[in-house]
Amino acid sequence: MLVQRTVDFEDPCWVGVFERLAGRRREAARAVFGAEPNPAELYA
């Protein structure tokens, strides 16, 4: 299983994209953090 997260600033918010690849299946989720995310939000 491969997991990847990308966090970018899309003015005016921070946005995270979380991707998981397991076998031939790919899943993704998008989270809008608003203010700069803290480590607890990124690793939850």
> pLDDT tens-digit profile of 23-37?
999 999 999 988 888
**Which pLDDT score is estimated for 32?**
93
**Which pLDDT score is estimated for 34?**
85
| Single pTM value for the model | 0.72
User: Following DSSP, what letter does each residue of the chain receive, concatenated?
Assistant: -EEEEEEEEETTEEEEEEEEEETTEEEEEEEEEESPPPHHHHH-
Averaged pLDDT score across all residues of the chain: 92
